[in-house]
Amino acid sequence: MPPVRPAAALKDIARETGLAVSTVSYALRGSPKVPPATAKRINEAAQRLGYRTNARVAELMAQVRRGGGPRTRDRLALVAVEPGALRGPGLDAAEGARARAAERGYELERFTLAEAGGRPGRLADILRARNIPGVVFAPVFNRARVDFHWPWERFAMAVIGAADWGVPLSRAAHHHYEAMRLTLDCLAATGAKRPAAWLNALTNERAHRGWQAAWLAYGPASASRRLCLRADNPADAEIVAWLKRLQPDALVVDGIASATRLKAAGWRGPVANLDLRPRSGSMGVDQGYDVIAAHAVDLVVAQLQRNERGPPAPPRALLFPGRWVGAAATNPRA
């Protein structure tokens, strides 16, 4: 059995980089005192050496700097309020959150509202009984607003996704506006001049109409009449008539289900998918749910280390446009 490698310490990173321990400590805490190039070198060395932040020590030091006593915090909760929220892209988000929590020295436990009988207060009591002070709320996919009665003041929290929760929570989310702009750029690079968009109205609304705004602002001539924001499930004949009327040379869709419907209606041209599943072999935007969720964990950990609870003032919003996959990936903006 090979010997167990001891965990790297700050002094090991300092020795590796030839810098002072204090500089290493500042860099790993994200201090602006350290130049970006130096911070990048330190973080790369920390990753190479297998350094992991000890959540308890980090919180203890934060408490000491504020003159408080030690607190033990070593678990976070990923809470899903919607059935099926932890499947598909939600599962990608859960895995990204789990991995980042582990990097920050925390364990991540998954909870669903259904497990608490649909009672938010009961679920909050369970988390408090298990001494879990930090909550990451999983993304919702079937609504634009979440009405959720929760003891907000008791937890450090962040939301994955763009849905409105009715309280000013920090969030990490997909940047739908920039993703649409990226898509239009990449389609133009392939030679498309008359693209049409077939989008779900609810998703567009949840994204604060970001898809629609970018389409109207950056789309080619007459783009406004080639935008379909559907609120229902139209019949195949309606889809065929829409395609025949517009005669597009490329389509922008909101997911695999829409792409399948349009192909079934006879479409054989290029399709750019705004919610491309990884390794699908298609063209479009991989939203990167795992990356988004990882940054939601960072938001919660930062609140814990500052000993903050409740909705922050002001809340932070981290937005990520995703990654273009497929044709025209060499476009400068991509």
Which segment of 34-38, 187-191, 238-242, 314-318 scores lowest on mean pLDDT?
34-38
The structure tokens 């090991």 sit at 12
Q: Which helix (H) or strand (E) holds 158?
A: strand 156-160
Which segment of 28-32, 64-68, 79-83, 292-296 scores lowest on mean pLDDT?
64-68
Cα(271)–Cα(259) distance, rounded to whole angstroms? 7
Calculate mean pLDDT across residues 235-256.
94
The first and second tokens of residue 28, run together, are 């790993």
The first and second tokens of residue 167, run together, are 């309280």
Q: Rg (Cα) of the chain, in Å, rounded?
A: 23
pLDDT of residue 29: 72
State the DSSP code for 190: T
Contact 136, 160 (CB under 8 A): yes
Residue limits of CATH 1.10.260.40 in the chain: 10-51
Going by C-alpha positions, the residue among 150, 144, 152, 146 that lies closest to residue 165 is 146
CA angle 294, 295, 297 (to 5 degrees): 70
Question: What tens digit of pLDDT does each residue of 148-186 get?
Answer: 899 999 999 999 999 999 999 999 999 999 999 999 999
Confidence check: pLDDT of 3 > 60: no
By CB atoms closer than 10 A (0-12, 13-18, 19+), residue 263 is middle
Residue limits of CATH 3.40.50.2300 in the chain: 75-174+288-320, 176-286
Confidence check: pLDDT of 71 > 70: no
Cα(227)–Cα(172) distance, rounded to whole angstroms? 27
| Domain 10-51 classification at class level | mainly alpha
Calculate mean pLDDT across residues 235-246.
93
112 bridge partner residues: 80
The first and second tokens of residue 206, run together, are 């949840």
Provide the CATH number for the domain formed by 176-286 in this structure: 3.40.50.2300
Torsion, Cα of 272, 275, 281, 282 (10° steps): -10
pLDDT of residue 35: 87
Superfamily of domain 75-174+288-320: Response regulator (3.40.50.2300)
Instruction: Note the pTM of the prediction, 2 decimals.
Output: 0.75
Q: Are strands 323-325 and 283-286 parallel, antiparallel or unpaired?
A: antiparallel
Q: Which helix (H) or strand (E) holds 19?
A: none
**H helices present in the chain, as ranges:** 10-17, 21-28, 36-49, 55-66, 89-103, 120-129, 176-189, 201-206, 210-218, 236-246, 256-264, 289-305
